[in-house]
Structure formats: C-alpha cells, structure tokens
C-alpha cells in the first residue's frame, strides 16, 4: 500500500514537471519590465532618472571628484569592483574612490544603460561601461565591461545606488 502511494505521488510530481507551463504575461522588452506582483511603475521615467544620474556620475568620474561619486550611493551601499574587496558603506566607498582617483586620471568614461527592471522602490539596471585612464605609472589603459546596479528610491523621489557590481570584459592576463 505504501509503495502504491509513493508511486502515485511520484507520477503526480512527474506530471507537474512535464506539464507545459503558460507563458509569462509580461512579454514586454526587458527595458520596460516590472517584476510580477509589484505595482505598475513608469519604467521609462525611472530609466530616464537613472540615465540622468549616470550622466552626472560620468562627469564626476572624469573630474576625479570622489566626494561627488560617493554622493550617488546610499549610506548602506555595497560596491563590488573587480580585483578588490567589496566596499561596504559610504566610508569604505569613499576610501575606494579616493584611492582610485589618486592613482589614475580618467580621459574617457561612459556608462550605458542596457535595461532597467522596476520592482516597487527598487530599480535593477544592467549596463556597459567604457573608460580610458592614465595611471600614475605606465601608459593609458582602455577598458570595457559590464555592470549591475540596484537603485533604491529615496523619500524625495530620486534614486541612489544600493548595490554596484562591475567587471571587465578583458581576458585575464
């Protein structure tokens, strides 16, 4: 009797796994997507706000203005860049950017938003970066890569970075 019940349960589980599932109702492009179960958001407006922030970030990076760069992050933000430990909190992020801006001068810097997904007070941005910098020692270095940023809506309606991860597309040396 027990083996019959186990066989029936196994068959039901198998049927559930092989049943054709319905397509998701949101067939919009990723740039206009919202996560299921969240209120509808004006994704285009959120994307526009993020792109405006990125333009200001690009400018601060080009100027080597570490204080301005830190202002884009929440107090509890985490930055995870390649080849260095994660910087947790604004103080650690300030130290990271302060160190980077002391050892290199940007001659080109550009963030490009590829898509934005909105979920309540959060926006998830996927993008690409390209920059050229001149290190204190050595010649210019050009890099291209990708990033994923989690933005958090602030009480004033603006967005700040809560999580920031980026890494190069260049092969390891």
Q: What is the pLDDT along the chain (173 residues), one digit of tens a residue?
A: 433 333 333 333 333 333 333 333 433 444 445 555 445 569 999 999 999 999 999 999 999 999 999 999 999 999 999 889 999 999 999 999 998 888 888 889 999 999 999 999 999 999 999 999 887 777 888 999 999 999 999 999 999 999 999 999 999 88
Map tokens 């890494």 to a residue: 167
pTM for this prediction: 0.75
Map tokens 């290190």 to a residue: 135
**Tokens read off for 114:** 């590829």
Q: Name residues whose C-beta falls within 8 Å of residue 114's C-beta, 6 or more positions apart in sequence.
A: 31, 126, 127, 128
* Sign of the Cα pseudo-torsion (115, 148, 161, 62, in order): negative
Which pLDDT belongs to residue 96?
94
Give the alpha-carbon dihedral of 47, 48, 54, 56, to 10 degrees.
-160
Which pLDDT belongs to residue 110?
95
Which pLDDT belongs to residue 49?
96
Neighbours of 73 (CB within 10 A): 22
**Cβ pair 160, 151 in contact under 8 A:** yes
51 by DSSP, 3-state: which?
A: helix
- How many CA atoms, within 13 angstroms, populate the side-chain half-sphere of residue 143? 20
**Cβ pair 70, 93 in contact under 8 A:** yes
52 by DSSP, 3-state: which?
A: helix
Of 2.40.128.30, 3.40.50.80, 3.40.47.10, 3.10.450.50, the CATH number of 28-168 is 3.10.450.50
């Amino acid at each position: 009797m027990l083996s019959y019940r186990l066989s029936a349960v196994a068959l039901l589980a198998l049927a559930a796994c092989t049943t054709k599932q319905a397509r998701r109702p949101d067939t919009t492009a990723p740039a206009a997507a919202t996560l299921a179960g969240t209120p509808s958001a004006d994704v285009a407006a959120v994307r526009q706000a993020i792109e405006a922030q990125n333009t200001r970030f690009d400018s601060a990076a080009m100027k080597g203005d570490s204080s301005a760069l830190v202002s884009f992050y929440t107090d509890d933000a985490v930055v995870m860049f390649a080849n260095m430990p994660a910087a947790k909190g604004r103080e650690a992020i300030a130290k990271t950017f302060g160190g980077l801006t002391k050892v290199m001068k940007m001659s080109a810097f550009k963030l490009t938003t590829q898509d934005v997904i909105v979920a309540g007070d959060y926006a998830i941005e996927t993008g690409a970066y390209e920059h050229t910098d001149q290190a204190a020692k050595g010649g210019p270095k050009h890099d291209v890569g990708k990033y994923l940023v989690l933005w958090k809506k602030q009480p004033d309606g603006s967005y700040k970075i809560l999580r920031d991860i980026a890494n190069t597309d260049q092969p390891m040396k």
